[in-house]
């Protein structure tokens, strides 16, 4: 969760980037690329999330902000079942 907090804090410093990031995520939800996990599904269950961050390329005329998912990211804590 520390990584997520850090990402949100960084994006919150630039409202324009945060809005673009949110728009890309919402578009990916609509397209079925990512999914929303309802809060009731999170109770007492183990969930795994793929960390993601933005890549900005302001010189591009089409996609100036894209989201990159890091499926190879390692966690610091060991999870025991």
**What is the arithmetic mean of pLDDT over 41-62?**
79
> Could you tell me what percent of the chain has a pLDDT over 90?
12
The pLDDT, as a whole number, for residue 28 is 92
Q: What is the pLDDT of residue 29?
A: 94
pLDDT score recorded for residue 41 = 64
Distance of CA 68 to the CA centre of its chain: 8
pTM over 0.95: no
* Chain segment 7-37, per-residue pLDDT in tens: 888 888 988 888 988 999 999 999 999 888 7
Phi-psi region at 20: left, alpha or beta (left = phi > 0; alpha = psi -120 to 50): alpha
Q: Nearest 5°: CA angle at 10, between 71 and 65?
A: 65
Average pLDDT, the chain: 82
């Amino acid at each position: 969760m520390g990584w997520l907090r850090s990402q949100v804090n960084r994006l919150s410093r630039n409202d324009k980037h945060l809005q673009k990031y949110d728009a890309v995520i919402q578009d990916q939800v609509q397209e079925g690329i990512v999914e929303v996990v309802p809060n009731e599904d999170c109770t007492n269950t183990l969930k795994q999330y793929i960390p993601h961050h933005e890549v900005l390329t302001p010189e591009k005329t089409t996609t100036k902000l894209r989201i990159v998912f890091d499926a190879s990211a390692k966690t610091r804590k060991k999870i025991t079942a």
